Copies of this chain bind each other. A is one copy, B any other.
């Protein structure tokens, strides 16, 4: 084992000195994410400016068997970027260029440190947009690493659906491309899909080629209030079954609506509410919205309001996106824990009922929100990390939600990823398939250097 001094000296021999930091504040910033998981600091943080520099870092790490954690903006929610084994954290903030917009191919090539709002600002010039919208202004490298999704997945798909190619630096410094520029391919094994969602455990992403979309001709949003969460969920199932191509459909329950109003100074009805958005041509969209109105009224919708101008649309979605911050703001000193299960849509109502009953039983304050068009919902609960009883209750709550989702054929995480928080459910969810994942990890990173013990905890005896 190298000492930290020796490691830093080695890194400085291959990188400009100012791109290698052991500053305490910087290490602290890279020792946590936005979750409640316990922080842990890296020994050193490096800021590569090119793929070549990432290769040099990985070759050194590989030579000296030093763990490496890739880091975007630290907005992960399950401890993905926390370096519990210390070593090197690679911060991609200097690799933040939009390299190429292939307007006619609906493709864009970016460095991993580009954030989604930065990309959308650039794409707007071309009448294009990038669809994946997890709320946080994460980097695209990080979003690919966790297979992020968010409000628009119901229409445009998740991060994995947008990735056409990744440039990846593997554990030993080899550079590969996982895909190509064609819209579809049956050539070779599907490495795009495998690397997206691998949470930094198989390689460092140094370039991404992503699918983008034309800004729709016409956009309309609606806010519909219901007497109960069940009615709202049933309305969503009805909308999907009618084949209405809704672009976003978000459920915000009553306690969460209260928090929205408090934080945003809005005056929305404090009832279970669906925030919806429709994209299309004007004629088609008007027919869709008429049909949607009939469906929601069948489920006792007590008020529906429409927005078509951009400012009102922005306010509506900002209110939704700020919800997590609204809870954090409302419970000073507490940390947020978020569940993230995804279930078959026909089970969604029962799964949400079960979550609300568990919150009540455990007497935990919290809201339920969700990307209900996908069957994905979150219970947001605020925990005092100095109160062991609250921590215990929140863990019990998480477990109740996850086991229920797995019994319904769902998954423990629809979009946040595994990190360290969902590891304990991996064997239960994947069964023998977990060993296949372990064998793949072992085949590609035999020394377990890349974000070790995240996503998959490979048994030591296999190394």
- Shortest Cβ distance from A105 into B: residue: B344
Chain A 368-383 near chain B by CB (<8 Å), digits 1 or 0: 0000001110000000
Q: Which of A401-423 contact B (CB under 8 A)?
A: 405, 408-418, 422
User: A167-191: which have CB < 8 Å to B?
Assistant: 170, 174-178, 180-191
A178 nearest CB across to chain B (Å)? 6
Residue in B175, B178, B433 whose CB lies within 8 Å of A188: B433
- For residue A3, CB closer than 8 A to chain B, the reply is no
B189:A455 contact, CB within 8 angstroms? yes
Say yes or no: B197 contacts A189, CB within 8 Å.
yes
User: Contacts A180-B409, A442-B443; is A346 near B104 (CB within 8 Å)?
Assistant: yes
Residues of B within 8 Å of A434, CB to CB, are 188
The segment out of A60-68, A222-230, A329-337, A424-432 that lies at the interface is A424-432
Q: Are A183 and B432 in contact (CB under 8 A)?
A: no
- Mask of A231-255 contacts with B, CB within 8 angstroms, 1/0: 0000001001111000000000000
Contact B426 A188 (CB under 8 A): yes
Interface flags for A188-208 (1: CB within 8 Å of B; 0: not) read 111111101110000000000
- Is A436's beta carbon under 8 Å from chain B? yes
> Is A189 touching B437 in the complex (CB atoms < 8 A)?
yes
Contacting residues, chain B, for A242 (C-beta < 8 A): 214
Question: Which chain B residue has the least Cβ–Cβ distance from A203?
Answer: B436
Contact A410 B190 (CB under 8 A): no
Q: Does A24 contact B (CB under 8 A)?
A: no
CB neighbours (8 Å) of A413 from chain B are 185-187
Question: Could you tell me how many residues of chain A have their Cβ less than 8 Å away from some Cβ of chain B?
Answer: 96
Give CA–CA (A242, B106) in the complex, Å. 12
What is the bound-complex CA distance between A405 and B184, given in angstroms?
13
Residues in chain B near residue A416, CB distance under 8 A: 186
A146 to B237: give the CA distance in the assembly, Å.
Answer: 33
**Interchain nearest-CB distance for A123 vs B (Å):** 14
A433 to B165, CA, bound (A): 12
Q: Mark A419-462, 1 if CB is under 8 A from B, else 0.
A: 00010011001111111110111111000000000011000000
CB distance from A295 to the nearest CB of B (A): 14
Cβ of A140 under 8 Å from chain B:
no
Residue A395 CB within 8 A of the other chain: no
Minimum CB–CB distance for A164 against chain B, Å:
9
Chain B residues near A365: list those with CB within 8 A: none
> What are 25 A-B pairs with beta-carbon distances under 8 A?
A104-B345, A105-B346, A146-B186, A149-B184, A160-B193, A161-B161, A174-B432, A176-B430, A176-B431, A180-B429, A181-B408, A182-B409, A182-B410, A183-B345, A183-B375, A184-B376, A185-B342, A186-B413, A188-B418, A191-B433, A191-B437, A192-B193, A214-B242, A217-B243, A281-B284
- What 14 new A-B contacts, CB under 8 Å, besides A105-B345, A176-B431? A104-B237, A105-B344, A106-B240, A149-B184, A158-B184, A181-B410, A184-B414, A187-B413, A188-B429, A188-B430, A188-B434, A188-B455, A189-B197, A190-B194
